[in-house]
Amino acid sequence: MRKLIVLFLAAMLVLPALTLSAGGQNEGGAKKKGFVIALSNSFYGNSWRKQMVDTMQVAAKEAKGKGLISDFIVANGDGTENTQIAQMNSLILQNVDAILINAASLTGLNGVIAKAHEKGIKVMAFDSIVSSPYAYKIEYDFNTWGSISANYVVDRFKGNAKILITRGVMGSAPETGDYEAMMKIFKANPGIKILGEVDTEADIAKSQSAVANVLPSFPDIDACVGMSGDYGVVQAFVNAGRKVPTIVGSNRAEFISWWIDEKAKSGYDTISLGSEPSIGAISFWLMIHILQGDKVPEMIQTTYELPLVALTNATVDKYKGIQPGTVIAQTYTDQWVVDNIINKK
């Protein structure tokens, strides 16, 4: 874990103790195919979530071509528990084999997950996870990332700064973990003054609007930190004719490109942190192995180091020319899942 903090890396994949039956095998030991897998995505309102769905669709197309699945159903929600519960109930009625969840709440879906479990439907929560014992879980270590963000600001300003908190998708496990870790550090440093908080939904346009609305109230802002749509925060300051403060980025292409240009012009210095939308592909391929009855690690708590998901001034140029509308992420394949999870020693 110390290595994670030093390198700004990694994802924590935690799989609960679930009994894997031999139901993934046909008579004679052949693995079953043609599963129906569904995605219940609580929120579709920012580029990260859209890219996540896209990466899962690519994986599903490959799996369907190999005959591993017969269908991949995508249900996108509006960020509320009630909508996602309705999604889940509908998928249960369709008798799907498995449901992958990017959850609106850590606890609010536990009842419907238990219902799916009773029906023999496998459930896996990823990115924004759940607390249900009936779900597999894959998550990044957002608490550590929140600590990195806060400590960067504290160190950068020698413990004295005026901060605007830019909240992400409120209620989601990643945003909650990130926020709580940041606030713990800020509260321990009395020279850090929290000017206020804005709700950005981690979206560029909403970030710009939310920050623009409060700028007249805060003539002096040293830093903006949180799971925002980072480039939208930049635009709010630029359009107001204000100097852009230190903004801790969220690995979106528009911010990365602006940062590279601004670094060359003025020496702008910051960091950027973000999870990879392609974690959805990891959950998809892992679920296929679970459905087939393959043995997967149980009761493990292992830190898997994914490719670089945090940038500094020394590394950001690597992403010059990043495609607009995307978030930094690599492609995760079935073979990656086999090598790094199924056959992990």
* Class of the CATH-defined domain 2-7+11-139+276-305+331-342: alpha beta
Tokens describing residue 333: 């394949």
pTM summary value: 0.84
Give me 103's structure tokens. 């959850």
Contacts of 291 (CB under 8 A, 6+ apart): 24, 32, 35, 37, 97, 98, 122
Higher pLDDT, 85 or 11: 85
Which of 212-221, 233-242, 304-313, 330-339 is least confident? 304-313
Domain boundaries, the chain: 2-7+11-139+276-305+331-342, 142-273
Q: In what order do the strands lie in the sheet with 35-41?
A: 69-76, 35-41, 98-102, 122-126, 136-140, 11-15, 300-304
On the question of a common fold for 2-7+11-139+276-305+331-342 and 142-273, the answer reads yes
Taking only the tens place, the pLDDT of each residue in 259-275 is 999 999 999 999 999 88
pLDDT at 84 over 80: yes
CB–CB of 321/261 below 8 Å? no
Percent of the chain surpassing pLDDT 70: 88
> What is the side-by-side order of every strand in the sheet holding 161-167?
192-199, 161-167, 223-225, 246-247
How is domain 142-273 classified at the CATH fold level? Rossmann fold (3.40.50)
Dmax over CA atoms of the chain, in Å, equals 73
Q: How far is CA 46 from the centre of its chain?
A: 11
H helices of 227-328, where? 230-239, 253-266, 279-291
Q: Write out the two tokens for 301.
A: 């708590």
Q: Write a three-state SS string for 143-198.
A: HHHHHHHHHHHHHHCCCCEEEEEEECCCCCHHHHHHHHHHHHHHHCCCCEEEEEEE
Residues 33-61: tens digit of each pLDDT: 799 999 999 999 899 999 999 999 999 99
User: Locate tokens 């009842």: which residue?
Assistant: 111
The pLDDT confidence band at residue 181, using thresholds 50, 70 and 90, is very high
